[in-house]
Amino acid sequence: MNVFECMRAFRAVAEVGSFAGAGRSLRITTAWVSARVAQLEEHLGVQLLVRTTRRVALTDAGRVYLARCAQLLDDLEEAERSVIDLESSPRGRLRITAPMSFGLVRVAPLLAPFMAACPEVRLDVVFNDRFVDLLEEGFDVAVRIAASLDDSSLVARKLATGARVLCASPGYLRKRGSPKHPRELAAHNCLTYALHATPGKWEFTGPTGHEAVSVRGPLQLNNSIALCTAAEGGAGILLAPDFVVAESLQRGRLERVLGEYHPSGYQVFAVSPPTRFAAPRTRAFVDFLSRKLR
């Protein structure tokens, strides 16, 4: 027995004054209304309505119960409206995490435009390069960069693809020469990203097919922007995502190396915890990122 269904049926009969009228107001059958009221009376062990051939009247118990159940039903409807209104447009707190370099270069410039588009959303953003457990740490969305994502229970959406670029400063290349083949990188100072799965192994596709080379050098860092700064200063050859080195290449502080050989690229994903109903603020943010990063 659904008590609230029975209460709604009883209230409608009491307010309209007939079972048929209650059925019309609720857009259900008279028999359904009658059955629900009978179930409610049996559940309570009291008679709530007096039925005659001409009209339906409340008993004393019915009048007392109507006042209380009407208040309960009004409160329930108000609670339902509040939740529906809350989830009908982007609002509330949204916790986001993203890798440090990508977050600073690509995500941070999009935060103000997103807040202007969704002024009722409050952002709580964390940039770091460690793996974040969304469920354990209470994040709504994580931006992740990878060649591909492992299968998991998380909901993933690909936002963009990108390339990695091999480059060095003009000064370093004048001093040490520019390699002509990936295997020549073994003789150069190679700047490596510490958090890569295989920081000392670089892979390329070029005129001779797939090439995988082992590299080493005087500097390994856990941040691509810092590696880019070191490369600009002539510390060595850098393999980094395009978003990190794009400005440096454009301004001539870095130059591409081994242009005929293409390093393996990367993909950008937005991942979120599994749920039947994604909050509008989460959907709005992921949609916004997808449009801006595509």
Q: What is the dihedral of CA 249, 252, 256, 259, to 10 degrees?
A: 100
**Within the chain, which residue ranges are assigned CATH 1.10.10.10?**
3-86
CATH of domain 3-86: 1.10.10.10
* Rg, C-alpha atoms of the chain: 32
CA dist 163 and 56 (Å) reads 76
Neighbours of 226 (CB within 10 A): 16
**Within the chain, which residue ranges are assigned CATH 3.40.190.10?**
92-160+267-293
- Asked if residue 22 lies in contact with residue 13, where contact means CB atoms within 8 angstroms, the answer is yes
Pick the CATH number of 164-264 from 3.40.50.1220, 3.40.190.290, 3.30.200.20, 3.30.70.100: 3.40.190.290
Q: 14: exposed, middle or buried (C-beta count within 10 Å: 0-12, 13-18, 19+)?
A: buried
* Mean pLDDT of all residues belonging to the chain: 87
Residue 208 confidence (pLDDT): 80
Residue 226 confidence (pLDDT): 94
The per-residue pLDDT for range 220-263, each reduced to its tens digit, is 999 999 999 999 999 999 999 999 999 999 999 999 999 899 99
The per-residue pLDDT for range 157-214, each reduced to its tens digit, is 899 999 999 999 999 999 999 999 999 999 999 999 988 878 889 999 988 889 899 9
Half-sphere exposure of 97 (CA within 13 A, CB side): 17
Q: pTM of the full predicted structure?
A: 0.66
CA dist 128 and 98 (Å) reads 6
Pick the CATH number of 92-160+267-293 from 3.40.190.10, 3.40.50.880, 3.40.50.720, 3.40.50.1820: 3.40.190.10
At residue 88, what is the residue type? S
**Within the chain, which residue ranges are assigned CATH 3.40.190.290?**
164-264
CA dist 142 and 94 (Å) reads 11
Residues 6+ apart with CB under 8 A from 231: 167, 168, 169, 172, 191, 237, 238, 240, 245, 248, 254
Buried b (16+ CB within 10 A) or exposed e, 248-271: beeeebbeebbeebebeebebbbb
262-263 and 220-221: which strand pairing? unpaired
| DSSP code for 36 | H
